[in-house]
Amino acid sequence: MVILGLNYYFHDSTACLVVDGQLVAAIEEERLNRDKHTRVFPQMAIDRCLKIAGLGYNDIDHIAISIKPTHNLGKKLGYLAGRLNTFKVFVNHEFVHAYNKQKGFWNWYKYHYTTKKNGPKVHFIPHHYSHAPGSFYVSPYQKAALLGIDGSGEWATTWLGYGEGSKIECLGESFFPNSLGSFYEAVTQYCGFRTSYDEGKTMGLAPMGDAEVYKDKVGKMVWVDKNGSLQFDLSYFNFQNMHWQRLSPKFYKEFGPGRKHGEDFQKHHMDVAAAFQRVLEDRVLEICEILHQKTKAEYLVISGGVSLNSVMNGRIVRESKFKDVYVMPAAGDNGTAIGAAYYLYNGIFNKERNFVHLDPYVGTEYSNNEIEKVLKGAKLKYTRHEDICEKAASLLEKGRIIGWFQGKMEIGPRALGSRSILANPAFPDMKDKINAEVKFREAYRPFAPSAIVDAKDDFFDLEVEAPFMLKVCNVLPEKQSVIPAVTHVDGSARLQTVRKELHPRYYEVIEKLGKKTKVPVVLNTSFNIQGEPVVESPKDAIRCFFSTGLDDLIIGNFHLTK
């Protein structure tokens, strides 16, 4: 059985292929069309997935799409009836947009298949079932509490449930405008960033502020009832009216003027960001407590755009009653392509679960022959090394900043060692240097460490593994001066733990650096510059290398330097 999973209704268009329950390929369209967070139909991603799998359009049996436009239609119309002043923007957002997306899909379908009879069967999967239940089906747990949190998907903003085997039970939902995703988007806009795009910047800014200054005021804006549903004081907001300006005049009167893009941060901007971050964490921890009481589960699966808040996930690991948390590497809307496919396979078709998504490297891989052909075509000077990991480790030891391009591309927003920029975290000025000369981004933003799993406990206070870089923990106090370039101002780090069996080359280069320096940790950030997607191809890597302050490029078994 071949299932094509698609996300294209919102941002981060993505395609995946599931063959007899195995995830064969998954690719975000942005990596191929070079438009970050793209919303276009993932035509290039579909074609690439089929190429990787060695399949054609006629081999597809089912298409699972991570949206069901008619889901919760009554709730939408009921909301509109109470806010007729939003009629035009509401209709445009909820109906015209949906119609255009549907029309685009069916035009694509008709182009490849003459009729529905000879084409694959199309299944529209509710958005939040593509999030939490879909993630559960590829998690390592047979039983787990389920939590989906985002801005809004078919009007739902949070989804609480329980999974056991292939059975899913919904335990409650919150609906727009009671949305933690919209709540966090609002403060992102207040801080001068782009919404549904730069929320990670807000999370990185929060430790620069003092949450206590505004925590009580912000805390009164949102609360959780005994069933785990969200309630909001909407007088501070404007997103409920579907307005581009997400905050009301009352908010600005209470907290002061927002930051305009490009302006310096004022203390109150950082303090407000810190308070929103803290309240987000506190409310999700309250939901986790209710979920644990209802399910008695040992483990939690969390998904949706808000689940990319790795600081929040770290607190769930440390402070909730769950033993561990599974967050899919593409936990936002990109991952709903995978979730829809697995909800169809395991939840609707009731097939036995036979796949665990612990390997994020599910994209394109380029051979040395393919890479060398590109290098020669560009008339570039390079050297080939049989032990490329030793070469990379030697460069890192000296403080060189390298582009690292190896193996299959990872999926999700975090570079996990296939398309990464690497540096030695022991150099105190390395963070500022990479931000200024390579990434061209805000100076305050931190970088993440990757550590071989054997060394995790020697440097970090984290009892569980974090293979997808989605759980923030504390750097041990005595190690913060050892790895200053990956220690944030509050002593935290967004750790990735690396296992040899998942990415042998990445593990080896970290291990070899550790033998040279006694620190088996690297600074790892995505191989791109601000505003661009992570590099996908050798051409992308070469272009990024020569247009930034990178010192070296390690691509396959080849080394290029400047």
Output the domain CATH number for residue 152: 3.30.420.40
Among 327, 344, 377, residue at a domain's last position: 327
The range of the structural domain enclosing residue 402 comes to: 368-561
What pLDDT, on the 0 to 100 scale, is given for residue 82?
A: 80
- Tally of domains in the chain: 3
Residues 461 and 489 in one domain: yes
Report the C-alpha gap between 559 and 522 in whole angstroms.
19
- Asked whether residue 43 is assigned to any structural domain, the reply reads yes
Instruction: State the Cα angle at 497 between 494 and 499, rounded to 5°.
Output: 160
Phi, psi of 15 (to 5 degrees): -130, 150
Two tokens, residue 95: 């109906």
Specify if 335 maps to a domain: no
Same domain assignment for residues 207 and 303: yes
Encoded tokens for 385 = 């090394």
Q: At what angle do helices 267-295 and 180-190 cross, to 10 degrees?
A: 170
Q: How far is CA 314 from the centre of its chain?
A: 15
Whether 145 and 108 share a structural domain: no
- Terminal Cα-to-Cα distance of the chain (whole angstroms): 49
Q: Do 202 and 62 share a structural domain?
A: no
Task: Render 489-556 in DSSP notation, one character per residue.
Answer: TTSEEEEEEE-TTT-HHHHHHHHHHHHHHS--EEEEEESS-TTSPPP-SHHHHHHHHHTS---EEEET
* 112 shares its domain with 156: no
373 sits in which H/E element: helix 368-377
Which residues lie closer than 8 Å to 414 by C-beta, 6 or more apart? 329, 448, 468, 469, 470, 496, 526
Domain annotation covers residue 243: yes
Q: What are the structure tokens assigned to 175, written together?
A: 């609906």
Amino acid at 101: K
* Among 100, 128, 156, residue at a domain's last position: 128
Asked whether residue 158 is domain-assigned, the answer is yes
pLDDT averaged over consecutive 10-residue blocks of the chain (562 residues)?
95 97 98 96 98 97 95 89 84 87 94 86 97 98 98 95 98 97 98 95 96 98 97 97 92 97 95 98 98 98 97 98 98 97 98 97 98 98 98 98 98 97 97 95 93 97 96 98 97 97 98 98 96 97 97 98 96
Q: What kind and span of H or E run contains 89?
A: helix 87-91
CB 234 within 8 A of CB 301: no
Residue 313 and residue 205 share a domain: yes
How does DSSP assign 449-504, residue by residue? EEEEGGGHHHHEE-SS--TTS-EEEEEPGGGTTTSGGG--TTSEEEEEEE-TTT-H
Shared domain for 118 and 147, answered yes or no, is: no
Closest CA to 309 of 282, 340, 343: 282
What does the alpha-carbon distance between residue 191 and residue 201 come to, in Å, rounded to a whole number?
Answer: 9
Position 333 in a domain: no
For residue 163, is it within any domain? yes
Please indicate, yes or no, whether residues 443 and 553 belong to a single structural domain of this protein.
Answer: yes
Position 217 in a domain: yes
Residues 301 and 394 in one domain: no
Q: Measured between alpha carbons, how far is 147 from 304 in angstroms, rounded to an integer? A: 8
With beta carbons less than 8 A apart as the criterion, state whether 231 and 225 touch.
Answer: yes
Q: What is the per-residue burial (b if ≥16 Cβ within 10 Å, else e) of 489-517?
A: eeebbbbbbbbeebbebbbbbbbbbbeeb
* Sequence letter at residue 319: E
- In the sheet that holds 558-561, the strands lie side by side as 383-384, 558-561, 552-555, 402-405, 419-423, 521-526, 448-452, 492-498, 471-475, 460-461
Is residue 154 domain-shared with residue 121, that is, in the same domain?
no
168 and 62 share one domain = no
Residues in contact with 216: Cβ distance below 8 Å, sequence separation at least 6, in sequence order:
none
Q: Classify residue 345: in a domain, yes or no.
A: no
Q: Is 452 exposed, middle or buried (0-12, 13-18, 19+ CB in 10 A)?
A: buried
| pLDDT value at residue 115 | 74
Determine the residue type at 290.
I
pLDDT of residue 85: 80
Quick check: 165 and 133 in contact, CB under 8 A?
no
152 and 80 both lie in a single domain: no
pTM, full prediction: 0.96
Among the candidates 327, 360, 394, a domain finishes at: 327
pLDDT, residue 83, reads 83
| SS3 call for 152 | strand
Neighbours of 538 (CB within 10 A): 22
- Residue 409: helix, strand or coil by DSSP? coil
Q: Which amino acid is at 307?
A: S
Strand order in the sheet with 2-7: 22-28, 14-19, 2-7, 62-65, 121-124
Please give the backbone phi and psi of residue 465, each rounded to the nearest 5 degrees, phi first. Answer: -90, 160
CB 527 within 8 A of CB 419: yes
Q: What is the CATH number of the domain that holds 521?
A: 3.90.870.20
Asked if the peptide bond before residue 177 counts as cis, ω within 30 degrees of 0, the response is: yes
Q: Where is 51: in which H helix or E strand?
A: helix 43-53
